[in-house]
Amino acid sequence: MTDTTHDRAFLRHTVATLAYRGSKAIRGAPASFGNFHAGPSTRTPAEILGHIGDLLDWALSMASGAPKWNTASVSGWSEQVTRFHAGLTALDDYLASDKSLEYSAERLFQGPIADAISHVGQINMLRRLAEAPVKGESYNRADIVAGRVGPDQTPPEPKFEFD
């Protein structure tokens, strides 16, 4: 498997981008938000965040050469927030290590990472429907740093946010 320093750096940046955008989507959500239903057949935000956790677990299993899908049982919102950051940390730690990538960077990105980013967008949409919107932002100006994948994201500068 081709495994370059550039591939890892790019993947770590995408994971940090997911952490930044995901943290923004969940930060300050009302306590009841995790159980919000936009309609009878839609997932709740807690279920979506749980699915993102499943995707992060899958990405790590792919990277390490033992691809396995596991659907974890959905717990409460705060537990899913903790799991989100733990999954990001585990994946980033692997990418930062000298362990071999057993799947290409392209496949890791196009599958679980891109899917997770899409689901963050769903959470943002649900925040707006739940009347707790997240402000838009000029994300190209965001302070996104590879390795910063916990809840300790730099807040956006107000001049780069918009309604």
What's the CATH number of domain 5-162, 1.20.120, 2.30.30, 1.10.1200, 2.10.260? 1.20.120
The domains of the chain are located at 5-162
Please say whether the beta carbons of 54 and 69 come within 8 A.
yes
Six-digit token pair at 16? 């940090």
Which pLDDT score, from 0 to 100, does residue 148 have?
A: 97
SS3 69: coil
Please say whether the beta carbons of 32 and 159 come within 8 A.
no
Beta strands in the chain (DSSP E): 136-137, 161-162
Which pLDDT score, from 0 to 100, does residue 3 have?
A: 66
CA dihedral 97, 101, 106, 109 (to 10 degrees): -50
Residue 133 is classified by DSSP as P
pLDDT in tens, the chain (163 residues): 556 889 999 999 999 999 999 999 999 999 899 999 999 999 999 999 999 999 999 999 999 999 999 999 878 999 999 999 999 999 999 999 999 999 999 999 999 999 999 999 999 999 999 999 999 899 999 999 999 999 999 988 888 888 8
Please say whether the beta carbons of 19 and 88 come within 8 A.
yes
